[in-house]
Chains A and B, each alone.
Chain A
Amino acid sequence: MINYVWALLISGGIVYAALHGRIDIVTNSAITAAEGAVGLSFKLIGIMSLWLGILKIAEAAGMVRVLGKIIGPFIRLVFPSVPSGHPAMGAIIVTISANMLGLGNAVTPLGIKAMSELQKLNTRKDTASEAMCTLLALCTTGFTLVPTTIIALRAAAGSVCPTEIIGPTVLVSFLATVIALLADGICRTFFRRPKRKV
């Protein structure tokens, strides 16, 4: 799937540019984007180190256990394949909590931490497991209680009430999350992972 999407984006862009006599744009665009991607991952080093360090303190202090008591039952329901005592459970709980608080950049390192815990349970390391797909569904729809960035953006644009979109945002992201989880559940039963050849 990802191979086709990726190839379609690039070849579609190249063919379209060629047909419209703008082929020179492609090279420049590709190089700039590649440099930008490297710049972005360097920027991520600092943010990741900061939040992974803070997370380690929270773990050592037992805060993850406290959070787990609150949203743990829901998480266990959505991730039936993860054993309840496994570190992946705690990491997922922290990721979802950070997402709900609208912590933006802080969510990425926590999500990666959760993914790498799930990878330890994965039997085929190059292929996503069911639990990974579910976590991704939760993160891409990103259920948020406080959309911090957009509130700041609205305030900057001179809104009379920058926070009035919190209600609709919570509603919509809740709806999107529920539908995505349903779609994930359906896909999980229909697209079973091919059994490994013995």
Chain B
Amino acid sequence: MLTYFTTNVSVWAIPGILLAILVFGLLRSVRVYEVFVEGAKEGFSNAIRIMPFLVAMMVAVSIFRDSGALDECISWLRPVLSSAGIPTELLPLAILRPLSGTGALGVTSELLYSQGPDSLVGRIASTLLGSTDTTFYVLTVYFGAIGVIKPRYSIVVGLIGDLVGFIGSVYICRLLF
């Protein structure tokens, strides 16, 4: 029963929330259509305002990755990780996680297929992907949309969160499985 619920929750979450909000709105006699349109107006300007920030960040990450510099960093860090007892297959994922959401998703599915979803590496990769968000993307989009160009210390805080997510995923999965 619980397994059924949790596997289907991803399918039901969005339709369920849409339905709940609509029903709730109607019960409170909200003019749902008119109110929806009024709220949706902001979507266009928000998305367009983000564009220059997204271009800046995605170009930088893309150059760094495609030039091979990212792989070079990974090969430097490999010995450090293996001495700490962390499976080195996870390193590309750990580095990509804060930089690129789609990249991290791609690396994770590759790991799940090559190592098996129920292997230790597969489980750690799953936990890592689920437990933190793409720091650079969130920062770019959220601050870009409101025109903040000086994010101050928030990159450091986001990256600390990512590091804790990585180390935590490795050790908590070790402990639990």
Contacts and interface: CB of A to CB of B under 8 A. Distances in A.
B59 A172 contact: no
Interface string B99-133: 00000010011001100111000110011111111
B51 A54 contact: no
A77 interface: no
- Chain B interface mostly helix, strand, loop or mixed? helix
Contacts of A53: 35-40, 43
Q: For the complex, would chain A's binding face be called helix, strand, loop or mixed by DSSP majority?
A: helix
A57 B130 contact: no
Given A54-B39, A183-B156, A183-B160, A166 B6 contact: yes
A187 B156 contact: yes
B77 interface: no
Contacts of A155: 7
Contact of B129 (A12, A28, A150): A150
Q: How large is the interface on A (under 10, 10 to 19, 20 to 34, 35 or more residues)?
A: 35 or more
A167 interface: yes
Interface of A: 1-2, 5-6, 9-10, 12-14, 16-17, 20, 22, 25-26, 28-30, 32-34, 36-38, 40-42, 44-58, 60-63, 101-103, 106, 108-109, 111-113, 115-116, 118-119, 122, 125-128, 132-133, 135-137, 139-142, 144, 146-169, 171-173, 175-177, 179-180, 183-184, 187, 191, 193
Contact of A33 (B63, B109, B176): B63
B117 A176 contact: no
Contact of B147 (A16, A106, A126): A126
- Interface size class of chain B, counting residues whose CB lies under 8 Å from the partner chain: 35 or more
B165 A141 contact: yes
A13 B127 contact: no
A40 B48 CA distance: 10
B84 interface: no
A47 B168 CA distance: 32
A60 B64 contact: no
